[in-house]
Each structure stands twice: as C-alpha cells, then as structure tokens.
Amino acid sequence: MSDPTPDPSAPAGQTAAGDFIDATDNFGRRVRLSRDEYRSRVLPEMIKAHGNDPAQLAQVIMQGLQHGFARDLVQAANRLAAVDSDPERALSLLSVVQRDAGDPDAARFSLDDLLQKRPESVGARIGLAMLAQREGDDARAEELLEAALDRDPNHPDAVHGWLQVRLKDRGEDGTRAELEQLVARPNAWRAELWLARLDLQQSESAKAAARYRKLLAQDEPSPDVLLMAATDLVNAGQQELVAELVAPRFVPGRDHPNVGIALLHHLLATKEVVEGTELLHQMHVHYGHVVGEQLNPFTAEFDRLRLAELPAVEMPEQPRIGMYKFEWPGFCSALADPQWLLPQKQNGHKQVLFVTLSFEGQPPAPDAAGNQEDYGRITRAVPMFLAEQTWLATPHRGSVAIPMTEQGGWALMGRPWPIEQIVAQLGDTERKSSLIVTGTLRVDADRRRIELVVDDAATGQRVGEVAAEGQAEELGAMLLQLQEQLWPVLGGPEEKRPPVGDEAFWQRYADGLGQHAALIVTRSGAMPVDRLYGERYIVQWLQATALAEPRWQPGFWTFASALCLLHEMNSKVPLEHARIVGEIFRQSPSDSPFAKLGILPLRAVGLEAQWQARRAEIVNAAGGDPGYMGWLERVEGAGSA
C-alpha cells in the first residue's frame, strides 16, 4: 500500500484537526496522520517521487501549503521553478511559498521575475497586491488589483482581493456599489454571482434568479457559476429555483462534487427519494473516494424516507419464530460454493451448531431503540464469529442458527432456545455428530457478560460452559477470551487465538459478520429486499474492516461476498466500489485466494475485463487444482449463460 496523500478537494481548515492531518491512501481510505509524521516522512517522499513531474509536484506543494508547511516547501518550490515549462504556475507557487515562509523580499523577487517573463500576468499582480496589503500599503494594493481586473475581471482572487481592500474602511454597506462597479467592466460576470448572493440574503430571490439565468445561458458558462448558484440557492431554501436552474445542468463526474452535495440536500428537503437515491449512487461512483464522508449521512436519510413509504408490517402478538441456518462460513455466500477456500475435514469431525444468543437486560434511555438494534446484532455476531473460527481453526465444521419471525425479521429472544427443540430439528445422522452451543448476552448498564453452554446432541449431556465479560468497547477481548475457553471444550488446543489482529479489529470484524448476515438472509428471500436498510453502510464497513487488517484474508472474502450478494439483488451499490476492488485485485498475488476469487467481485463491480487480463497467470498459479478449476468452470459458465 502506498503512502497516504492529503485530500486535495478539502479546504485546509477541514483537512487538519489539531495536531493531525486527514489523508487518503490508494484505496480511498481516510487515514489520520500526526503533523510530525506527515512533515518528516510523507511530504519528503511525495516531493521526491514527483520531483520530475511539474504538474504533480505543484499539487504536492499546494497540499503542503494548505497544511501550513511553507518552510518545508522552499526547496521543492525552487525545484518546480527549475523544471516547469509554465512560469506562471511555477513562479506564482514559489512566491506563495516564500511569502508564507516569512520571506516577502524573495516572494517579491519571484513575482517581478514572473512579470519579466509574462508582462500581462494577472497572478503576478495579485501576488504583489497581497504583499502590499500585508505591508499596509492599501493604495498600492488597490492599484495592482485594478490592473489585474483590467486584464481579467473574473479572476476570483482579483475580485475577492478588490472587495477586501475597497471595503476595509466602508464595511459591508458598500458591497453592492462595489459589485455593481465590477459588473460594469467589459466581459465581467463573476461579480454578478456575488450580487445574486447578496440578492438572496436580502430576500430578492427574483433578482437573483434573473442573474443566474443570464449567467447560465452563456455559451460556455464557467463551472463556478453552477457551483455558486447551487450552494447559494440551497442555503437560501430556494427549492424551485434549484430544480429549474441547477438540477438539469449537473453532470456527475464533470462538475464540482459540491454541486451534487447541494442537490442531495435539495432532494432530501423535497423528499424526492427515487431521484435522491440515484444521485447519491452517482455521487459515490464519481466522487466517493473524495467526499465519501460527506455523502454517508444521505444514505441513512434516504433509506428512512424510502422505508417510511412502505406499508406497515402487521406483527401478531405472538409471532411464529423459525430458524435460519448457516451451514457454511458467511463469506461463502454468493461465491459459488468455494469449498477450495476451506480446510478439508477428516472423517469423524463434528458439526458445532452455534445458536443466536438470547438477551437479558434493558437498554439505557434515551437511546433504547438504537441500543436494542446494537444488542441484537451482537447476539448474531458472536455465533457467526465463533462458527467461522471453528471452520478455519478446528477439526470441526461450524454452523449458525438464527431465529427469525415469519414476517421476515430478526427475533431477539429473551431466553436461550430449548436444546430439546434444537435437537429435534436435526436429522438422525446429524444428531449423532453435533455439538450445540447456546448462550446469553447479559447487559447491566455499561457491562456486558456473554455466557455459553455446550451440549452434546447425541447424548443430551452438557459438555462445558464458558463466559466472558467487560465494557461495551471490550467486545473484541471478550470474543478472544471465549474462543480460548471454548476450543478445549470442543476437543481442540488451549489458548487458541486468531494468528493476526488485535482486540479492536476482532470487535469490528464480528460486527461486520453480523451485518453481512442480513445480506445473506435477504438474498435467500427470508427477509424482504425492499426493507433492507443500510446496504451501503454494510459494504463500507466490510471494506474498511478488510483493509484495516490485510493479513486476515477472510475479511476480503466477506467483502467480496457482500458485493456479490448485492449484485444478485440488482443493487447498484457494488458499482461504487469498482476503484477499491480493482486496486485490491491488482495488488493481490496471482496465487492468493482473492486473486482466484477475483472473477466474481470484479464482475459485481463491472470490471470483469481486469479478470480476463490476469486469468492466465492466476490459472497457472493454481497449478491445476481440481477443486479450484471445477469452481472456475462453473463460475465462468454461469457468467456466459
């Protein structure tokens, strides 16, 4: 994985938090670096990597300036001036670095040099005006800005600088007069946007609309027109004007993402669920790696609106409860039964059936409903985690039984399911080789206690009991403790833990398994598809979990399974992960399980061509394994059907 890069789309004030810098890596993940780490390690490596690429080097310098590292960029900016064929870009950036590093004389020298090379340079005049303003020479600053506006009346820094200087003593009362003077200049249009904003602030929406219509009717309006119109109209609550002027013109992937975010706010305010859901999908496809965190709240809001439109589900006073059984680890779902992924079990192995935990305790107010949902997920996550570990790390097979209502919803049980009823549902052969694990999640304020009991289905005898307890944030430690205690009861080694991952990872991973279970049962028809909530959150959670601990390969398989499950349900969400899946596949060695599985997640995200490009090397690395080759033949045949 390459070093993280600060997000260039976010303003400096939004990317730095205290002593940390938020950045993105090759997978589009947000990572938080200390300022010292970024300054001492990341920034020098980025400068070195792009030292011969002027465009990339300029981007690195601008990012560094956003975070206040001007003093560390002087050498890089001088390097840019030496290799860049565009003196406007190179010398303008050099002057900013020098100015912010505390050397105004050097900055002035660079700008004078730019004027020598480009006598009509607007940027040079703006830079010199800013230096003059810093030194208190407002008259000189105004003179230089006047000259800049004569050459480009729409340069954003020139317009902004002019207003700063002219309104310094007059205050905001003179804003309209100054803007009208700017608009009167030949070919000027940017000040018209500021006037439209002022109109909206003064409840003159008709005047603002007329200005926007005129500006947007230009042959090739600047992208800034749509951006400023969108944000100002949405902030002013002018929904009809947003629908008329902005919505028909926005093109995802071409226009600034903030236009799309403004439209999402508009569609949420007008409760246009279908249009909002589609736009949100397009935003994730085109901008998810840049503004994903800003998009996330819209997923919940549009899901809530969608679910609110569905007919209420009538629940009887005593609903009928049945069991949904997971025979295989969750990651096998929608991956065409990849038994070559699983360790082979010897004759005489047992099936260990983990039943969803019952729940005892009351969620603390005022978040009872939300906590109830969290506790329900824990009751599923614990058996899903232990069953998967049983498959992967013991001689036995692990399976899970989850109670569900007849109407298609999770059933949170107030007491463990009676062993006799579970055993009665097993066939004769299955009963002879099964161990049943039931248990309870007990909640007492911030404390959690999980108790498990193991019974032999054949003899009806209790085999053992284990327990773990801790705070809410200690679930990962509790899971590992339960696994250590449980393995000897199942006939395995003592102190058995997963080979990688810390307690925080396993808490997050188990939570992901509980969420993944919802996709499995929905795809099977046990839950109605139209009532699935937060599918995007589920996939994002699984993706982030897998990338947090790359050594645990089943995390990537579960992520792939989620994409394939949603693809089978005709969801568009998998397409939003094409960039990430493609990068994971590219980095996966040809003999790795993810590379071998690659055809399915790549197909789900619309990148099957990447599979075809590597197919020969992956098949060669498989060495003719009959289990894998048979699986691949089935998968490729299904894809061509």
CA distances to 129, 205, 565 from 448, in Å: 64, 56, 32
User: d(Cα 296, Cα 535) in Å, to the nearest integer?
Assistant: 12
Asked if residue 486 and residue 395 are part of one domain, the reply reads yes
User: Per the structure, how many domains does the chain have?
Assistant: 2
571 closest CA partner among 610, 526, 638, 519: 519
Task: Report the pLDDT averaged over residues 498-514.
Answer: 95
In terms of domains, do 304 and 326 share one? no
Summarize the confidence of residues 200-210 as an average pLDDT. 95
Residue 305, both tokens: 């609106």
* Choice among 349-358, 361-370, 485-494, 609-618 with the minimum mean pLDDT: 361-370
Shared domain check, 366 and 460: yes
Do 474 and 386 belong to one domain? yes
The pairing of strands 462-471 and 447-456 is: antiparallel
Average pLDDT over residues 18-38: 71
| 254 and 396 co-located in one domain | no
Distance CA 558, CA 149 (A): 58
With respect to residue 537, please indicate whether it lies within any of the assigned structural domains: no
Residue 475: domain span: 321-521
- The answer to whether residues 456 and 407 belong to one domain is yes
Task: pLDDT band for 174, please (50, 70, 90 cuts).
Answer: confident
Which pLDDT belongs to residue 497?
84
Question: What is the pLDDT, as a whole number, of residue 16?
Answer: 39
Q: Does any domain span residue 382?
A: yes
pLDDT at 579 over 60: yes
DSSP code, position 330: G
Q: Is residue 300 part of a domain?
A: yes
In a domain, 226, yes or no: yes
- The residue assigned the tokens 């549009």 is 302
Q: Which of 493, 521, 549 is the last residue before a domain boundary?
A: 521
Long-range contacts of 278-284 (CB under 8 A, 24+ apart): 279/252, 281/572, 281/573, 281/575, 281/576, 282/252, 282/253, 283/252, 283/257, 284/536, 284/573, 284/576
Measured distance between the N- and C-terminal CA atoms of the chain, rounded to whole angstroms: 37
CATH number at residue 227: 1.25.40
> Tokens at residue 246, please?
């902005």
Residue ending a domain, among 309, 342, 369, is 309
Q: Which residue bears the tokens 């499995």?
A: 520
Q: Does a structural domain hold residue 486?
A: yes
d(CA 238, CA 208): 11
Torsion of CA 278, 283, 286, 291, to 10 degrees: -160
User: Which region, left, alpha or beta, applies to residue 83 given φ > 0 means left and ψ of -120 to 50 means alpha?
Assistant: alpha
Residue 562, number of CB atoms within 10 A of its CB: 32
Residue 287: phi and psi, rounded to 5, are: -130, 5
pLDDT of residue 5: 43
What pLDDT score was predicted for residue 370?
46
pLDDT band per the 50, 70, 90 thresholds, residue 3: very low
Task: Tell me what pLDDT residue 361 has.
Answer: 80
Maximum C-alpha span of the chain = 97
Q: If pLDDT is split at 50, 70 and 90, which confidence band does 404 have?
A: confident
Supply angle C-alpha 605, 611, 612, rounded to 5: 130
Residue 494 resides in a domain: yes
Q: Is the pLDDT of residue 15 over 70?
A: no
454-477 burial string, b = 16+ CB within 10 Å, else e? bbbbeeeeeeeebbbebeeebbbb
Query: What is the dihedral sign for C-alpha 149, 154, 155, 156?
Result: positive
Determine the average pLDDT of the residues in 262-272.
97
* H/E run at residue 24: strand 20-24
Tokens encoding 29: 């993940």
Sign of CA dihedral 619, 625, 629, 632: negative
Mean per-residue pLDDT, 480-497: 86
Cα separation of 163 and 149, whole Å? Answer: 12
Burial bucket for residue 172 (CB in 10 Å: 0-12, 13-18, 19+): exposed
- pLDDT of the residue at 491: 80
23 by DSSP, 3-state: which? strand
Residue where the block lists tokens 């071998």: 596
How far apart CA 189 and CA 15 sit, in angstroms, is 31
What proportions of the chain, in percent to the nearest 5, are helix, strand and coil?
Answer: 60, 10, 30
Q: Which residues pair with 31 in a beta bridge?
A: 23
The values of phi and psi at residue 405, to 5°, are -80, 160
288 in a structural domain: yes
The three-state secondary structure class of 569 is coil
Contact 239, 262 (CB under 8 A): no
Average pLDDT over residues 164-185: 87
Confidence category of residue 181, pLDDT binned at 50, 70, 90:
very high
256/400 same-domain check: no
CA distance 199 to 130: 29
Considering the domain architecture, whether residues 334 and 301 belong to the same structural domain is answered as no
Alpha carbons 384 and 388: distance in angstroms, whole number: 6
Report the distance separating Cα 380 and Cα 382, nearest Å.
6
Residues 286 and 397 both lie in one domain: no
Q: Are residues 505 and 433 in the same domain?
A: yes
Q: Among 521, 550, 581, which residue terminates a domain? A: 521
CATH at 379: 3.40.50.10070
pLDDT per residue as tens digits for the range 441-463:
999 888 899 999 999 999 989 99
User: Could you give the dihedral angle defined by the CA atoms of residues 235, 236, 242 and 244, in that order, rounded to the nearest 10 degrees?
Assistant: -170
Q: Is residue 223 located within the same domain as residue 285?
A: yes
Strand partners, 352: 398, 435
Q: Is 70 exceeded by the pLDDT of residue 53?
A: yes
Query: Is a pLDDT exceeding 80 seen at residue 87?
Result: yes
Q: Is residue 351 situated within a structural domain? A: yes
**C-alpha angle 372-308-243 in degrees, rounded to nearest 5:** 130
Closest CA to 554 of 608, 523, 516, 524: 516
CA dihedral over 268, 271, 273, 276, signed as positive or negative: negative
Cβ-based burial of 581 (10 A; exposed 0-12, middle 13-18, buried ≥19): buried
For residue 22, pLDDT beyond 80? no
299, 392: one domain: no
Which residues, 6+ apart, have CB-to-CB distance to 532 below 8 Å? 518, 519, 522, 569
Q: Does residue 12 have a pLDDT over 60? A: no
Strand, helix or coil at 9?
coil
Q: What φ, ψ does residue 20 adopt, rounded to 5°?
A: -125, 160
**Apex CA 582: angle with CA 577 and CA 584, to 5°?**
95
Model pLDDT for residues 542-570, shown as the tens digit of each residue: 999 999 999 999 999 999 999 999 999 99
pLDDT in tens, 308-346: 998 877 766 777 888 889 999 999 999 999 999 999 998
